[in-house]
A and B are shown apart, each in its own frame.
Chain A
Amino acid sequence: MINDNAKTILSVRNLHASVEGTEILRGLNFEVKAGEIHAIMGLNGSGKSTFSKVLAGHPDYEVTAGEIIFQGQDLLALEPHERANAGIFLAFQYPLEIPGVSNRDFLRVAYNAHRKARGEEEIDVFDFDDLVEERSEIVKMDVSFLDRSVNEGFSGGEKKRNEILQMALLQPTLSILDETDSGLDIDALKTVSGGVNQLSTADNATVLITHYQRLLNYVVPDYVHVMCGGHIIKTGGKELALELESRGYDWLTAQEAVV
């Protein structure tokens, strides 16, 4: 929900980033206030995932210019795990498998790392079990998944659901969901969307990276942005997504080429 008086959570200015010497992000500007839901759309390869990884601090990406301010803090000065503990959450487009580490242990260590960063005591194993089982409800994930290795052998949709379980547990200030909808069946899409809506409050914000209007029917964005060539070329309201659905990107990218 848009509230002009809300605090700015994220402010990205003139961001340039490269990977292996190739510039992918080229002068990206982006601003998110508390309570807002943003959608980023755009052609394959336009830099959406790159942007999310740069926010999270992936070591392969080098920021060559610009700044990222997160809740008044210089995000680029923080290590990736510090960014996470400060409240940045990325639901991965391709979640990794971690053989040998149980989902439950992984979630507990992550949760306690967040608590520690806030100067709180670690939670004990039993309290944690209660908590994680309660949060599993939000995404209707069977608790048996907690005792499997992280994402190992999970179906594509189960992995996505597991990402949202992590989000439900860690309660980040800024969540970036990179194509969380792809790979979900229709029921799962409803469940996961319901979870995202349930988790969204006036104090946090969500950025949805998606290709489809489908998701946006359930999680209604306040803003829709179109990414092209490593920056945002158009911003509109939720109706922009509908327009993209019917017209495609040509009319925008052609315009961009002229500019």
Chain B
Amino acid sequence: MSSSVQSVVSQPYKYGFVTDIESDSLPRGLSEDVVRAISAKKNEPQFMLDFRLKAYRRWLTMEEPAWPNVKYPPIDYDDIVYYSAPKQSEKKLDSLDDVDPALLETFDKLGISINEQKRLANVAVDVVFDSVSIATTFKEDLAKHGVIFCSISEAIHEHPELVKKYLGTVIPTGDNYFAALNSAVFSDGSFVYIPKGVKCPMDLSTYFRMNNGDTGQFERTLIVAEEGSSVTYLEGCTAPMYDTNQLHAAIVELVALDNAEIKYSTVQNWFAGDENGKGGIYNFVTKRGLCKGVNSKISWTQVETGSAITWKYPSCVLVGDNSVGEFYSVALTNNYQQADTGTKMVHVGNNTRSTIISKGISAGKSKNSYRGLVQVNPKAEGARNYSQCDSMLLGDTSNANTFPYIQVQNSTAQVEHEASTSKIGEDQLFYFAQRGISPEDAVSMIISGFCRDVFNELPMEFAAEADKLLSLKLENSVG
């Protein structure tokens, strides 16, 4: 039976091409000189160099975490290129006409339009190619509302006071091994600032593309929502297929002040490695949101389908009274993929609420673990959490685990946890088949039903894309 369920997973990865473009790279390896060189290349102010060096020195004293439920050969940090940029980006781009046509073509091929003429989706996009941001669209339109949306490199130059005020305040440089590494060498990423009382007039989005085979990608995103403001942010990622592994260690920091709301959605489709487990991205990401103000709200939605290894726990620290944290996640693993992903909800303020909805789908020989922490601090009165973790198995050779950690130090807290494991079995597929529905269609209907609670949280176009993506990833694993 497993052989037939098995054959509906594993679809060739269609974003696996490499763009042939000249790049300006630093030599392999990491040292204080490399950190200084990155900072110098970006012409950074002293405070940034200090930030990086502090992180680097801290990193040297740290160890790679061993607790995740994933296995991989040791990473040689001296064999990685820490900075690589398409040649032309050295000089500031004045308009999209200055962008290398090869790059524009790359993004067209990926279905990402960086051409401002195509306002279709009404989404502003920041595009990051290897280490640098190559274009940000709709900047001027956004500026009219006082919204700042630019690459983080640009923000360091144009808005140093904001960067200085918030960078590293949610995720300190020494937070964890990969966060320290990122803080030392991050090359680019996006910066968003929504001023007081502004509801961001369009969705903002970053598209990450890892092109160079030896480059690690270390991007850094910082979003600040001032009092009474709100923003929806989307993140998409792809990478070429290489038979070696690439390291991706990103940081996303969100800050929501009084009555502000940030909704952050990710559809992650890095290259996952081939059907024998060769190649693929090592995705070690730290994402955390700080609900600093009263009644603030941060909501994470993620659809994780790529990466050979995923290590990622988008979290919320609920400091403001009545603040709300949400985490909606679909993580799909196939072949030899390994995912250890989940969230942390830390309740600090009074009457804080959090919701966790996690859906794990495992096929092939993959390993899919949910790891989540709900922490209620002693002074957090009236905290509430609801967690639901569902796993679905396709076939008999994959593996699903749930590791919920609940630490409640205040007796007024209400914490609820539900978990389930189900399996797409031959009999279910036979029922569909008996009504004329092919196994492929049956699997995608079951999977989208299973993920509906999460997809409902995604912006419309993203939800459709996510649905399609999951079906593609599962094609041929039933048959």
A interface list, Cβ under 8 A from B: 56-60, 79-81, 84-85, 89-90, 92, 95-96, 98-102, 105-106, 109-110, 113-114, 117, 149, 166, 170
Q: Out of A79, A84, A85, A109, which one reaches B445, CB within 8 Å?
A: A109
Contact A59 B426 (CB under 8 A): yes
| Shortest distance from the beta carbon of B358 to any chain A beta carbon, whole Å | 15
Q: A155 CA to B1 CA in the complex, in Å?
A: 29
CB atoms of B430 and A149 under 8 A apart: no
Complex contact B435–A92 (CB within 8 A): no
Q: Least Cβ distance of A111 to chain B in Å?
A: 8
In angstroms, Cα B430 to Cα A99, docked, is 15
A90: B residues at CB distance < 8 A: 434
- Among A85, A92, A101, A166, contact of B446 (Cβ-Cβ < 8 Å): A101
| Chain A residues closer than 8 Å to B439, beta-carbon distance | 81
B436 in contact with A117 (CB, 8 Å):
yes
Contact B428 A58 (CB under 8 A): no
Whether A81 lies near B431 (C-beta < 8 A) is: no
Which residue of B has the minimal Cβ distance to A95? B431
Contact residues in A for B433 (Cβ distance below 8 Å): 57, 79-81, 84
Within 8 Å of chain A (Cβ to Cβ): is B449? yes
B427 at the binding interface (Cβ < 8 Å): yes
20 interchain pairs, CB-CB under 8 A: A59-B1, A60-B426, A79-B433, A80-B430, A81-B434, A81-B438, A84-B433, A89-B434, A96-B428, A96-B431, A98-B428, A98-B446, A98-B449, A99-B422, A99-B450, A100-B448, A101-B449, A109-B437, A113-B437, A113-B438
A113 vs B434: C-alpha distance when bound (angstroms): 11
Does A113 contact B436, Cβ atoms closer than 8 Å? yes
Within B197-211, the residues touching A (CB, 8 Å) are none
B432 on the interface (CB 8 Å rule)? yes
Shortest beta-carbon distance, A131 to chain B, in Å? 15
The 8 A-B residue pairs whose C-beta atoms are closest, nearest first, are A100-B449, A80-B433, A110-B435, A113-B436, A84-B436, A81-B433, A101-B449, A85-B436
B435 contacts across to A, CB distance below 8 A: 84, 106, 110, 113, 166, 170
Query: How far is it, in angstroms, between the C-alpha of A149 and the C-alpha of B448 when the chains are bound?
Result: 13
User: In the complex, are the beta carbons of A81 and B445 less than 8 A apart?
Assistant: no
5 extra A-B contacts, CB within 8 A, seeds A92-B434, A100-B452: A79-B438, A80-B434, A98-B449, A110-B437, A166-B435
B441 CB contact (under 8 Å) in A109, A114, A149: A109
The interface bits of chain B over 310-321 (1 if a CB of A lies within 8 angstroms of the residue's CB, else 0) are: 000000000000
Chain A residues in 8 Å Cβ range of B434: 56, 80-81, 84, 89-90, 92
Report the bound CA distance from A58 to B428 in whole Å. 11
A96 to B446, CA, bound (A): 13
Contact B428 A114 (CB under 8 A): no
Interface centre among A57, A79, A95, A98 (most CB of B within 10 A): A98
Q: Which residues of A contact B427 (CB under 8 A)?
A: 96
Residues of A within 8 A of B4 (CB): 59
A110 partner residues in chain B, CB cutoff 8 A? 432, 435-437
- Given A59-B430, A80-B430, A114 and B445 touching (CB < 8 A)? no
**Is A81's CB under 8 angstroms from B432's CB?**
yes
Tell me the complex Cα distance, A95–B449, Å: 19
Inter-chain contact A170/B431, CB cutoff 8 Å: no
Please report which residues of chain B, range 387-440, place their CB below 8 angstroms from some CB of chain A when the two chains form the complex. 422, 426-428, 430-439
Q: Using CB atoms, name the residue of chain A closest to B3.
A: A59
Residues of B within 8 A of A59 (CB): 1, 4, 426, 430
A58: nearest residue on chain B (CB-CB)?
B430
Roughly how many angstroms separate A136 CA and B304 CA in the complex, as a whole number? Answer: 40
Which residue of A is nearest B422, CB measured? A99
A98 engages B436 (CB within 8 Å): no
A100 to B448, CA, bound (A): 8
- Assembled-state Cα–Cα distance A57/B450 (Å): 27
Chain B min CB distance to A125 (Å)? 15
Most buried by B among A56, A58, A59, A60: A59
In the complex, are the beta carbons of B436 and A114 less than 8 A apart? yes
Once bound together, how far apart are the Cα atoms of A100 and B422, in whole Å? Answer: 12
The answer for the CA separation of A142 and B49 in the assembled complex, in Å, is 69
Q: Which residues of B contact A101 (CB under 8 A)?
A: 445-446, 449
A114 to B55, CA, bound (A): 62
A79 surroundings in chain B (CB, below 8 A): 433, 438
Q: With A and B bound together, what is the CA distance between A174 and B429 in angstroms?
A: 21
Contact of B436 among A58, A81, A95, A99 (CB under 8 A): A81
Query: Which chain B residue has the least Cβ–Cβ distance from A53?
Result: B430
Cα distance A99–B445 in the bound complex, in angstroms: 10
Instruction: With a 10 A CB-CB cut-off, give which of A95, A101, A102, A149 has the most chain B CB atoms.
Output: A101
Q: Output the nearest chain A residue to B431 by Cβ-Cβ distance.
A: A96
Q: Which of B1, B436, B441 has the most CB of A within 10 A?
A: B436
Q: How far is the CA of A58 from the CA of B425 in the complex (A)?
A: 12
Chain B residues contacting A106 (CB-CB under 8 Å) are 432, 435, 437, 445
Within the assembled complex, what's the spacing in Å between the Cα atoms of A85 and B441?
14
- The B253-306 residues at the A interface (CB cut-off 8 A) are none
* A149: nearest chain-B partner, CB-CB: B449
